Amino acid sequence: MNLSVEDVKRWMHVSNQKIQENKEYLSELDQPIGDGDHGHNLGRGFEEVVKKIEREDYQEIGALMKDVAMTLISKVGGAAGPLYGTAFLKAADEWKGSPTITEELFIQGLEAAVEGLRTRGKADRGEKTLIDVWVPVLDYVQNHDIQPFELKGIAKEGMQSTNGMQAKKGRAAYFREASTSHIDPGAYSSYLLFEALYESVNIEEGAHD
Amino acid sequence: MNLSVEDVKRWMHVSNQKIQENKEYLSELDQPIGDGDHGHNLGRGFEEVVKKIEREDYQEIGALMKDVAMTLISKVGGAAGPLYGTAFLKAADEWKGSPTITEELFIQGLEAAVEGLRTRGKADRGEKTLIDVWVPVLDYVQNHDIQPFELKGIAKEGMQSTNGMQAKKGRAAYFREASTSHIDPGAYSSYLLFEALYESVNIEEGAHD
Amino acid sequence: MKKIINRPENVVDEMLEGMAAAHPDTLKRLPDSNVLVRNEAPVLGKVGLVSGGGSGHEPAHAGFVGENMLDAAVAGEVFTSPTPDQIFEAVKAVDSGNGVLLIVKNYSGDVMNFEMAAEMAEAEGIRTEQVVIKDDAAVEKEDDRRGVAGTIFVHKIVGTAVEEGLNLDEAAELARHTAENVRSMGVSLKPGVVPASGQPGFTLQEDEMELGTGIHGEPGMERKPMQEADRLTEELLEKVLDDMDVAAGEDVAIMTNGQGSTPLMELYIVHRKVAQMLKERNIHLKQSMVGEYMTSLEMAGCSLSILRLDETLKKYLL
Amino acid sequence: MKKIINRPENVVDEMLEGMAAAHPDTLKRLPDSNVLVRNEAPVLGKVGLVSGGGSGHEPAHAGFVGENMLDAAVAGEVFTSPTPDQIFEAVKAVDSGNGVLLIVKNYSGDVMNFEMAAEMAEAEGIRTEQVVIKDDAAVEKEDDRRGVAGTIFVHKIVGTAVEEGLNLDEAAELARHTAENVRSMGVSLKPGVVPASGQPGFTLQEDEMELGTGIHGEPGMERKPMQEADRLTEELLEKVLDDMDVAAGEDVAIMTNGQGSTPLMELYIVHRKVAQMLKERNIHLKQSMVGEYMTSLEMAGCSLSILRLDETLKKYLL
Ligand SMILES: Nc1ncnc2c1ncn2[C@@H]1O[C@H](COP(=O)(O)OP(=O)(O)O)[C@@H](O)[C@H]1O
Ligand SMILES: Nc1ncnc2c1ncn2[C@@H]1O[C@H](COP(=O)(O)OP(=O)(O)O)[C@@H](O)[C@H]1O
Ligand SMILES: [Mg+2]
Ligand SMILES: [Mg+2]
Ligand SMILES: [Mg+2]
Ligand SMILES: [Mg+2]
Note down pLDDT in tens along chain D; length 318 residues.
799 999 999 999 999 999 999 999 999 999 999 999 999 999 999 999 999 999 999 999 999 999 999 999 999 999 999 999 999 999 999 999 999 999 999 999 999 999 999 999 999 999 999 999 999 999 988 888 999 999 999 999 999 999 999 999 999 999 999 999 999 999 999 999 989 888 787 788 889 999 998 898 777 778 999 999 999 999 999 999 999 999 999 999 999 999 999 999 999 999 999 999 999 999 999 999 999 999 999 999 999 999 999 999 999 999
Distance CA B154, CA D67 (A): 70
Mean pLDDT of chain C: 96
pLDDT, residue B206, reads 53
Distance A14 CA to ligand 6 centre (A): 24
Q: Which helix (H) or strand (E) holds B74?
A: helix B61-75
DSSP labels, C101-122? EEEEES-HHHHHHHHHHHHHHH
pLDDT tens per residue, range A14-56: 999 999 999 999 999 998 888 888 999 999 999 999 999 999 9
CB contact under 8 A, C84 and B73: yes
User: Which pLDDT score, from 0 to 100, does residue A205 have?
Assistant: 59
Using CB atoms, list chains with 3+ pairs below 8 Å to chain C: B, D
Chain A contact partners (≥3 CB pairs within 8 A): D
Which residue ranges in chain B fall short of pLDDT 50? Answer: 207-209
Mean pLDDT of C297-309: 97
- CA of B80: which chain C residue's CA is closest? C109
Question: How far is B15 from chain C, CA to nearest CA, in Å?
Answer: 21
Q: What percent of chain A stands above pLDDT 70?
A: 97
* Model confidence band, residue C222 (pLDDT cutoffs 50, 70, 90): confident
If one counts every other C-beta atom within 10 angstroms of the C-beta of residue A193, the result is 24
Percent above pLDDT 70 for chain C:
100
Mean pLDDT of C155-170: 98
C203 lines ligand 2 (CB under 6 A): no
Q: What is the pLDDT of residues B59-106, one digit of tens each?
A: 999 999 999 999 999 999 999 999 999 999 999 999 999 999 999 999
DSSP class of residue D16 equals H
Q: Is the pLDDT score of A208 beyond 90?
A: no
Give residue-wise pLDDT tens across range C91-134: 999 999 999 999 999 999 999 999 999 999 999 999 999 999 99
Protein residue closest via CA to atom 24 of ligand 2: B186
Distance CA A192, CA D234 (A): 48
Domains and CATH numbers, chain B: 3-204 (1.25.40.340)
Q: For atom 17 of ligand 2, which residue has the closest CA?
A: B38
Q: Residue C145: its chain B contacts at CB < 8 A?
A: none
Chain centroid, CA C255 distance in Å:
11
CB atoms within 10 A of CB A142: 11
Ligand 2 atom, smallest distance to B76 CA:
18
Query: Contact, A65 vs A52, CB < 8 A?
Result: no
Q: What is the pLDDT of residue A111?
A: 98
Q: CA separation (Å) from A67 to A54, A64, A106, C248?
A: 11, 5, 18, 49
In the structure, ligand 5 is a single-atom ion and the residues with CB under 5 Å from it are B 35, 37, 78; C 80
Chain C residue numbers touching D226 (CB-CB < 8 A): 2
Residue B13 has phi, psi (to 5 degrees) of -65, -45
Domain ranges of chain C: 8-180, 182-317
* Domain C182-317 is found in CATH 3.40.50.1370: no
Q: Of C204, C177, C176, which is closest to residue C190 (Cα–Cα)?
A: C204
Residues of chain D contacting residue A79, judged by C-beta atoms under 8 Å apart: 81, 107-109, 112
Q: Do domains D8-180 and D182-317 have the same CATH topology?
A: no
CA D154/CA C218 separation, integer angstroms: 42
CA A156 → CA A13, A22, A31, A161, A187, distances in Å? 20, 15, 21, 8, 9
CA–CA separation, A162 and A129 (whole Å) = 7
C-beta atoms of A36 and D214 within 8 A: no
Is A169 in the D-facing interface, judged by CB distances under 8 Å? yes
Say which CATH class C8-180 falls into. Answer: alpha beta
Query: What residues of D are annotated to the active site?
Result: 57, 216
D296 — contact with chain A (CB < 8 Å)?
no
Using an 8 Å Cβ cutoff, are D273 and C23 in contact? no
- For residues C169-192, average pLDDT: 97
Q: In what order do the strands lie in the sheet with C208-211?
A: C222-225, C208-211, C182-190, C300-309, C251-258, C284-291
Query: What's the pLDDT score for residue B204?
Result: 60
Tell which one of C77, C78, C108, C194 to mutate to probe ligand 2, the residue whose CB is within 8 A of the most ligand atoms: C108
What ranges in A22-147 are assigned the alpha helix state H? Answer: 23-33, 38-55, 61-75, 80-95, 103-121, 131-143
Q: What is the pLDDT of residues C28-80, one digit of tens each?
A: 999 999 999 999 999 999 999 999 999 999 999 999 999 999 999 999 999 99
Using alpha carbons, list the distances in angstroms from residue D258 to A35, B168, C6. Answer: 20, 39, 17
* Nearest ligand to the C-alpha atom of residue C80: 5
Confidence category of residue A206, pLDDT binned at 50, 70, 90 = low
pLDDT value of residue B209:
40
Catalytic residues of C: 57, 216
Angle, in degrees to the nearest 10, between helices B185-208 and B148-161: 170
CA angle A110, A111, A113 (to 5 degrees): 60
Give CA–CA dist A50/B164, Å, rounded.
68
